Structure 1
Amino acid sequence: MISSGQFSVYLALKQLGFKGVHSEEWGDQPEVLDYFHEHMVKPSIDAGEVIVGDPDMRVIANYGYTAVFDIVPAIYYEQMLNQFPDCKFILTSRDSESWFESWTSMTQIVSTPLHLAGKLFRLPALTKGSDYIRWLFAYLNQDASILTASWPTDVTNRETAIPMYEAHNKRVREIIPPEKLLEYHPREGWEPLCKFMELDPCPTTPFPHSNSRLSMRVQAWSAFLLLLEAALVLFFGVSLIRKFFSPKKKQTKAKAL
C-alpha cells in the first residue's frame, strides 16, 4: 500500500490496520536511511548532480511495513509498481498553489533544525538527514548546485516546483492502472479509503485530521533542543568532574634567596 500524501492519510491507514512508515520515522530504522543515503544521496553529492537511482524497495518492506508515505513513494512509484505489482496507490489531490505553500513551509520547518543539529553535534544520522533534505531540494528544483552550495535557506523555486508537481501527478495517472489508484483528499473521510481498500465496516470515529506542519515543527525543534540540552548537561558534567576529582597540584611557596 503506497501513499504520496498527507499526514492525515498516514494516521488513517494506521488506524485501519496498516503498518505504515513516514519519512520522519526513518530514525527508528537507520538501515533504511543508510540505504537511501548510500545509493542516492551520497552519490549525488559526490558527483555534484542529482542521481535518482533505482532503489530496491524491499529494504522497507523487509521490516514488515505495508504502507509507505511521503517523498519515497512520490519519487519511486514506478519502482514500487514494478517490485510490488499488487500494491495500491493513493494520490492526495490539492491545487498546485496550495501544495507549493505547504511544501515550502514544511521544508523550512524541517531543514533548519536538522541542519543545525548536524553541524553542531556531528552525529552520522543527523548528517545523513541533513544531506537527504539537501538532495530533495536539488531534486525538486532540478538544480545540482544545491548539492554542494553552502546550506540553502530558501531554495524552493515556484517556477520550477509547480510544473514539476503537476507533471508528477500527470505521470502517476499515466503509469498507475486506474483500478490501483485512488485520488483522494482527507476531507472526503473514511468511505473512499475503506471502499478502495475493500475494508468493511468503516470506522465510525472521526477522521484523523492532522496539522502536519505544526506537528513537524514541534518534533524537529524538540529533537534539536533535546540534543542541545544533552550536550550542555554532558559539557557541564565533565567540567564538574574535572574540577572536583582531578588530582590537585601541590602548591609550593617560592623561597627568597
Structure 2
Amino acid sequence: MKVIVAGFPKTGTKSMNWALTTLGYKVYDFPENVYLLQKEYKKMFHDGWCAEDLQKMYQGVDAVVDTPACFFWEELAKAFPDAKIILTMRDSEEEWLQSMKNLTAAAEGNIAMRLVDTLSYTQWKTKRNLMNTMGMVTMGWQPQSFFARKYHLNEQMLKMKYRAHNAYVEHAAPKDRFLVYKCSEGWGPLCEFLGVSVPDIPFPHKNKAGSMVAEALATFPVFIRMQREAMAATALLLAGSSVALYYTVKLGPTEVCRCLGNGLVNGFDSAVTFFKLK
C-alpha cells in the first residue's frame, strides 16, 4: 500500500481514483472495498481486526479511496507504515452535505438503481451483510426498508461526522507523510507530495452532481452483474404472474388457492422427511 485517501465520500474520491490510476497506481474504490472485500469488512465491523488482516486484504493494492476504507485510515496507516495519507476535503461542510444530497437524489431517481436495490441478490446480500451496519456505525445512516423510495439523511449527524473525522485525521496523521488536499488544486500539490511527474492531461473531475450513479451502472462489472440479476428476477416475476393469472382465469381463484395450499403442504412434508433421513 502506497496511498491511503482518508477523505469522506463526496470529497473528490472518484476524481482521486482516476487521478491515482492515471499515475499508475492500482486503486481499490468503493465497489472493490465493499463487494470484493465484503466478508473481510463484515468481520471487521462485527468482530474486529488486526494489522495482518488489513495487509492480507490489500496485498498487491497500491491505493485505497472512499468508504469503508477511509474510516479505517489510521489502522491502514499502521499496517502500511510507509503509505502516504491524503485527506481530501470540500471547501465547506455545507458544500459536502449538498453533494451527498445530490448523490442520493441521483440514486433515488435512477430506475435501474431502484430495481437493483429491490431485485438484485448480490445487492440484497451486501446490504444485509455489510452496508446497513456500515452506514449506521460510520455516518449514522438509517437502513432502508425493503420498499423504501427515499434515503433518510440525518443532516446534523452527517455534518458532525464529517467535521469530527476531518479534525481527527488532521490531528493524528503523521505529518511527514500527510497531505490535506482539494481536487480543485489540480495535479501540482498531489504529484509533488507523491514524488511523481505531472501528467500532460487535465486533472479529472468525476461524479459531479451525482453523475457517477449512471456511470457506475454502465461501466462497473459488479453493477452490471447486479442489473442482470434484477432483470432476471423481473422476468421470473412477470412469468410467474402470467402463469398465476392464466390458471386463475381457467380454474377460478378457489381452485388455484387449493392447489397452492396442497403444494405447500406437500413441500413441507417432503422437507421434513428429507431432514429426518439426513
2:78 is equivalent to residue 66 of structure 1: no
The change in CA–CA distance for 1:104 and 1:80 in structure 2 (over 3 A counts) is same
Paired with 2:49 and 2:39, the residues of 1 have a C-alpha distance of: 15
Give a deviation string over 1:38-79, Cα, whole Å, max 9, x none: 432xx4xxxxxxx8x4463224322x1110010133211110
**CA contact 2:179–2:193 (8 Å) conserved in 1:** yes
Gaps of 5+ in 2: 8-12, 241-278
SS at match of 2:202: coil
The change in CA–CA distance for 1:110 and 1:4 in structure 2 (over 3 A counts) is farther
**CA contact 1:115–1:130 (8 Å) conserved in 2:** no
The alpha-carbon deviation at position 210 of structure 1 amounts to 1.2
SS at match of 1:71: coil
**CA contact 2:6–2:88 (8 Å) conserved in 1:** yes
Give a deviation string over 1:150-204, Cα, whole Å, max 9, x none: 35633221111112211110100111112211111112111111110111x3111
Give a deviation string over 1:131-153, Cα, whole Å, max 9, x none: 3332233124447xx46x73563
2:144 is equivalent to residue 139 of structure 1: no
Across the aligned residues of Structure 1 and Structure 2, the Cα RMSD in angstroms comes to 3.2
1:171 maps to 168
1:215 maps to 212
1:244 maps to none
1:182 to 171, 176, 179: 179
SS at match of 2:152: coil
Seq. identity, %: 26
2:16 maps to 9
**CA contact 2:33–2:69 (8 Å) conserved in 1:** no
How do residues 36-55 of structure 1 correspond to structure 2 at under 5 angstroms?
Answer: 36-40=41-45, 43=46, 53-54=48-49
Paired with 2:106 and 2:33, the residues of 1 have a C-alpha distance of: 17
Give a deviation string over 1:75-97, Cα, whole Å, max 9, x none: 11110121111111111121101
The one-letter code of the counterpart of 1:25 is E
2:249 maps to none
Gaps of 5+ in 1: 44-50, 239-257
What TM-score do the two structures reach when normalised by structure 1? 0.72
The one-letter code of the counterpart of 2:5 is S
The change in CA–CA distance for 1:171 and 1:69 in structure 2 (over 3 A counts) is same
2:96 to 99, 108, 114: 99
Q: Kindly indicate which of the two structures has a greater share of residues assigned to helix.
A: 2
The alpha-carbon deviation at position 28 of structure 1 amounts to 6.7
Paired with 1:33 and 1:110, the residues of 2 have a C-alpha distance of: 21
The change in CA–CA distance for 1:136 and 1:235 in structure 2 (over 3 A counts) is closer
**CA contact 1:93–1:185 (8 Å) conserved in 2:** yes
* Residues paired across the two proteins, number: 220
SS at match of 1:102: helix
1:18 maps to 25
How do residues 119-130 of structure 1 correspond to structure 2 at under 5 angstroms?
Answer: 119-121=118-120, 123=121, 125-130=122-127
How do residues 234-249 of structure 1 correspond to structure 2 at under 5 angstroms?
Answer: none
